């Protein structure tokens, strides 16, 4: 959650996360009074647009009905697919996003599992139109898993349900604003934030009730030594990194002239083409010829992100 001037002065880019679907859809973050500490959200008119070679675009809107309408003859199937998850989201959110265990709401979770466990490619092929198939494939591609993997539909279902519950919002000023508000709130509770303090071993911070390590598997092994169970240490040692992610930032003189007008209303645009093209991209173990691209365009909706003469 950092925002910096990475290209030109006055252009504020998110260093990593840019769009925050889960920040307002989840119970914990939604319970924090971060608005009192300066955090503001913007919801673009559309959460997502997926342009097609035909010139149109499939859309994901906060309104389930608007999304169904945009999908044409796939609208009724999408409605049947998503309505139970949207309506039962409060019951399944904690179980779907939390540690694996016996669910608090087993019936709701069973209904979710029926939709989440199949491979995303299998679910996508139940759509009749190119747009419907591409929309589901693009959502599932956020998992960075081959679409043929069992469970790959889960991330598509969760992201779509989050959009229909609260949209895919952007933090005004960039993702740094979320971190800043959380730090201000923590300090208001008496907390302290220390940065630039190198820790070589968790023994250096004995006495803490909770220790959270946001690091690589190798780093965690160095920090914990023999504190972790042998089986878990062995799994960390066997960890193999997957394909990398490449990010590019642009300072543009004006809005992108999309052929599909829906793209100009969306905070996120999926550039991936058809279901088959996204499958090939996600299956590739090297740099694909046509990579699946997540494009965020916050300056269309947040005037703090670019110089006035370049907004958009």
Tracing tokens 């969306």 back to the chain, one arrives at 266
Q: How large a percentage of the chain has pLDDT more than 90?
A: 67
Distance CA 267, CA 256 (A): 12
Q: What pLDDT is attached to residue 280?
A: 92
Which residues make Cβ contacts (< 8 Å) with residue 121, sequence separation at least 6?
A: 137, 147, 148, 152, 275, 279
Are the CB atoms for 270 and 294 separated by under 8 Å? Answer: yes
Q: What pLDDT is attached to residue 138?
A: 97
From 28-42, 72-86, 232-246, 293-307, the region with the lowest mean pLDDT = 232-246
Question: pLDDT, tens digit, for every residue of 174-201?
Answer: 999 999 999 999 999 999 999 998 999 8
Q: Which residue has the higher pLDDT, 143 or 312?
A: 143
Structure tokens, 178: 């979320």
Region 97-123: what's the mean pLDDT?
86
200 CB neighbour count, 10 Å cutoff: 8
Structure tokens, 101: 């265990």
Residue 309 has pLDDT above 70, yes or no: no
Residue-by-residue DSSP string for 184-234 = HHHHHTT-----S---S-GGGGTT-S-----S-HHHHHHHHTT-S-HHHHH
Residue 312 has pLDDT above 50, yes or no: no
pTM for the complete prediction? 0.89
- Domains of the chain, by residue range, sit at 3-173+248-310
Q: Chain-wide mean pLDDT for the chain?
A: 91
Strands (E), the chain: 3-4, 13-14, 41-42, 46-51, 57-60, 170-171, 266-271, 293-296
Q: What pLDDT is attached to residue 177?
A: 97
Beta bridge partners of 133: none
Region 20-48: what's the mean pLDDT?
92
Question: pLDDT, tens digit, for every residue of 210-268?
Answer: 889 999 999 999 999 888 899 999 999 999 887 677 899 999 989 999 999 999 999 99
Confidence band (pLDDT; 50, 70, 90) for 310? low
Confidence band (pLDDT; 50, 70, 90) for 99? confident
Are the CB atoms for 185 and 64 separated by under 8 Å? Answer: no
């Amino acid at each position: 959650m950092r925002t910096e001037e990475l290209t030109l002065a006055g252009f504020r880019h998110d260093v990593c996360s840019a769009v925050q679907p889960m920040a307002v859809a989840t119970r914990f973050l939604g319970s924090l009074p971060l608005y009192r500490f300066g955090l503001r959200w913007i919801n673009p008119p559309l959460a997502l647009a997926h342009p097609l070679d035909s010139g149109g675009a499939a859309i994901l809107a906060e309104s389930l009905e608007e999304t169904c309408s945009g999908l044409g003859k796939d609208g009724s199937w999408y409605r049947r697919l998503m309505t139970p998850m949207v309506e039962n989201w409060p019951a399944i959110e904690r179980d779907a996003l939390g540690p694996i265990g016996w669910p608090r709401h087993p019936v709701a979770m069973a209904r979710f599992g029926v939709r989440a466990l199949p491979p995303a490619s299998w679910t996508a092929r139940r759509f009749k139109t190119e747009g419907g198939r591409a929309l589901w494939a693009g959502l599932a591609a956020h998992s960075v898993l081959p679409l043929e993997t069992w469970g790959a539909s889960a991330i598509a279902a969760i992201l779509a349900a989050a959009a229909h519950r609260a949209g895919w919002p952007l933090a005004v000023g960039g993702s740094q604003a979320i971190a800043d508000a959380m730090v201000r709130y923590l300090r208001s509770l008496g907390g302290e934030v220390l940065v630039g303090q190198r820790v070589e071993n968790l023994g250096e911070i004995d006495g803490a009730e909770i220790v959270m390590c946001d690091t690589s598997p190798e780093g965690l092994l160095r920090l914990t030594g023999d504190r972790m169970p042998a089986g878990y240490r062995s799994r960390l040692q066997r960890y193999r990194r997957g394909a990398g992610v490449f990010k590019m930032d642009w300072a543009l003189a004006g809005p992108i002239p999309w052929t599909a007008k829906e793209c100009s209303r969306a905070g996120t645009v999926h550039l991936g083409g058809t279901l088959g093209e996204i499958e090939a991209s996600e299956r590739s173990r090297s740099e694909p010829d046509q990579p699946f691209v997540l494009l965020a365009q916050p300056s269309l909706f947040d005037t703090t992100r670019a110089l006035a003469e370049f907004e958009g």
